[in-house]
Amino acid sequence: MVARREAGYEDRACRDAVRAMVRAYREHLAVFAELRWLPYVAGGAKVRSGALPA
């Protein structure tokens, strides 16, 4: 938020950007929380970049 302010963006735009980031973070955490990790960890599989819904 500080960087955006320094770049000249309005406070409302900064708040909206932070809220959007926090919302996306929470949504992705909710997806991760529902995954069953043991088969992936035990099998050595890796999660591909972009594999989660946006």
pLDDT in tens, 1-40: 667 777 887 888 888 988 999 999 999 888 878 877 766 6
Residue-level pLDDT at 26: 94
How far, in Å, CA of 16 to CA of 38, rounded?
Answer: 37
Reduce the secondary structure of 7-37 to three states and give it as a string: CCCCHHHHHHHHHHHHHHHHHHHHHHHHCCC
Q: What is the mean pLDDT of residues 30-52?
A: 68
Residue-level pLDDT at 12: 87
How far, in Å, CA of 21 to CA of 1, rounded?
Answer: 11
